[in-house]
Amino acid sequence: MRVLYEDENLLVIDKPARVNCDDIEKRVQPPKFSGEKLRRVHRLDKDTSGVLLIAKNDKALEFLQKQFKERKVGKKYILLVVGKLKTKRGKIKTFLARGGKDRRKQRVFSPFEPKMKRKKLKLAITEYKVIKEFKEYTFLEAKPKTGRRHQLRAHFAYLGHPIAGDNLYGFKNSPCPEGLKRQFLHASCLKIELPEGKVKEFNSELPEDLKNVLKIL
């Protein structure tokens, strides 16, 4: 896997699609500066590509994960959704939790759910802006302000515009661009403070498979 950055505390990789984050520690080379076990700081879905942080020691892991929990990490994703959004910019603010027939999926809930259910609800906030519109799709940038499981996939499906190629959240008979073999979702940028005090921004280019889909469109 391509290494975007490395020091004594942190390894930043450009995760390809179809790689499970739970196996990521086995897929990268041993750290150069530390004999301790590698630990991923956060996760990306299996078919989501992009920037992924891996800590080299417990102290770095705790320091970095704390920023995720406190919503201090800047995150940017590039995605293609089905249809055209009503606005060029917007904010999606909902509650998410597991629910419905498929337990793999997150579902949007009303804040007026019964008390028993409300305890499990988690606030999810996503900001987005449109980059380009195609005939049947919209290419856009999204910034999740919270880090909920499947947040972007659930949010855009809730708007009626599921991510192209998403077999879990996509609607029945949703169109799929020619050449797309997975969900069109890429973690393109992550900005975070490192243990030594510096704030670093890590960027990943759109992979070739997704670039080719845009060329065809």
Decide if 45 is catalytic: yes
Whose CA is closest to 155, among 169, 136, 141? 169
Q: Exposure string (b/e) for 160-177, b if CB count within 10 Å is 16 or more?
A: ebbbbbbebbbeeebebb
Are the C-beta atoms of 139 and 133 separated by less than 8 Å?
Answer: yes
Are residues 204 and 4 in contact, defined by beta-carbon separation less than 8 angstroms? yes
Give the CA count within 13 Å in the CB-facing half-sphere of 28. 31
Residues near 28 by Cβ (< 8 Å), separated by ≥ 6? 1, 11, 13, 38, 54
- Residue 175, phi then psi, degrees to nearest 5: -70, 155
Catalytic entry in 14, 22, 23, 45: 45
Q: Give catalytic residues, as residue numbers.
A: 45
